[in-house]
Amino acid sequence: MSLDHYVTLGRSGLRVSPLCLGAMTFGEDLGWGSSVEVSTAILDRFLDRGGNFVDTANYYTRGHSEKIIGDHLGRNRARRDRVVIATKFFGNLFPHDPNGGGAGRKALVAACEESLRRLQTDYIDLYWMHCFDQHTPIEETLRALDDLVRAGKVRYVGVSDTPAWKVAQAQVTALFRGWAPFVGLQIEYSLLERTVEAELIPMARELGLGVTPWSPLKSGALSGKYTRENAGTVKADRGIWTEGVLTEKTYALLDVLARIAREQGSTVARVAIAWVQGRAGVSSTIIGARTVEQLDDNLGAAGWQLERDHEVKLLWASIFPRGYPYDFIEYANSEH
**Encoded amino acid at 84, one letter:** V
CA 136/CA 240 separation, integer angstroms: 31
Buried b (16+ CB within 10 A) or exposed e, 158-177: bbbbbebeebeebbeebeee
DSSP reduced 3-state for 24: coil
**Would you say 12 and 183 are in contact if contact means Cβ atoms under 8 Å apart?**
yes
Q: What residue spans of the chain are helical by DSSP H?
A: 36-48, 64-69, 77-80, 105-119, 138-150, 164-177, 200-207, 240-243, 248-264, 268-277, 292-299, 308-317, 326-334
Output DSSP code: residue 178.
Answer: T
Q: Is 75 exposed, middle or buried (0-12, 13-18, 19+ CB in 10 A)?
A: exposed
Catalytic residue among 6, 59, 60, 127: 60
Q: How far apart are CA 5 and CA 167, in angstroms?
A: 29
Establish whether 60 is a catalytic residue. yes
How far is 45 from 335, CA to CA, in rounded Å?
A: 54
List residues bridging with 291 in a β-sheet.
none
Catalytic residues: 60
